Amino acid sequence: MKDELLDEIITIFKAQEDPLIASGMKAYMRNQFEYLGLTSPVRKSLSKPIVRELSKEPKTSVYSLIKTLWEQPEREFHYLALDLYFNVAKKMMDEKDIDLLEWMICQHSWWDTIDFIAPKLVRIYFDKFPTKRDEIIDRWIKTGNIWLQRSSLLFQLKQKDEVDYPFMIATIKRLSGTKEFFINKAIGWLLREHSKRIPLEIKAYILTHQNQLSPLSVREGLKYC
């Protein structure tokens, strides 16, 4: 079933490919990925019936297809995998899902997929299995992999009143001092997002620790303060 469905999906997507749009998409992503050239509205219209159909399938089939889609060279298939995970597979999550999420974070890594996986899928995982959080985040930070580290920050992005503020600040402190753009940007983004709800605490933290934070993190974090 998986191979037949995959062939069908590839056929459907490739029937709408546009080489000119694909070239622009590829250039925007610094030529790191291949593209079919499907605009977001086109891709979503093609994905919707596929996602709806997969909602009826057993867990093994859904997860197998997600992994196979992630292994395809074109980025649009990765986006479909994320749609499937968020709309179908998240309801089936168990503790072993962290292995697949970590694999997805580390394969075909770039900000566009990480910024979906971390605040949506990783957050859902830790909401379901909160006792796993400290161990996994500690391990991700220690790997030195910037995408696992960015995920360690951004899974907290949309937690609003549910954010564990001391844990968030501890994570920021562990990752401050780097020259890595994607980490410093994530720190600033995380601080900026939570400044909407706790502006005094965030501003005080940034001003007190601005010598440890990068200028980018400070600038981003204070944007709404």
pLDDT, one tens digit per residue, over 73-93 is 999 999 999 999 999 999 999
Domains in the chain: how many in total? 2
pLDDT bucket at 111, cuts 50 / 70 / 90: very high
CA 169 – CA 187 distance, rounded (Å): 10
In a domain, 216, yes or no: yes
CATH, residue 55? 1.20.1660.10
Q: Which domain holds residue 47?
A: 1-92
Q: What percent of the chain has pLDDT over 90?
A: 97
In a domain, 105, yes or no: no
In a domain, 172, yes or no: yes
Q: What is the dihedral sign for C-alpha 19, 25, 30, 31? A: negative
pTM, full prediction: 0.96
pLDDT, one tens digit per residue, over 119-139 is 999 999 999 999 999 999 999
CATH, residue 116? 1.25.10.90
Catalogue the long-range contacts made by 59-64 (C-beta closer than 8 Å, 24 or more residues apart). 59/89, 59/92, 61/1, 61/2, 62/88, 62/89, 62/92, 63/89, 63/92, 63/100, 64/2
Please check whether residues 121 and 208 belong to one and the same domain.
yes
In a domain, 103, yes or no: no
Q: Higher-confidence residue: 166 or 2?
A: 166
- Specify the residue for token string 């997929």: 113
Please check whether residues 127 and 215 belong to one and the same domain.
yes
Are 125 and 93 a contacting pair, CB within 8 Å?
yes
pLDDT, one tens digit per residue, over 161-193 is 999 999 999 999 999 999 999 999 999 999 999
Please check whether residues 36 and 126 belong to one and the same domain.
no
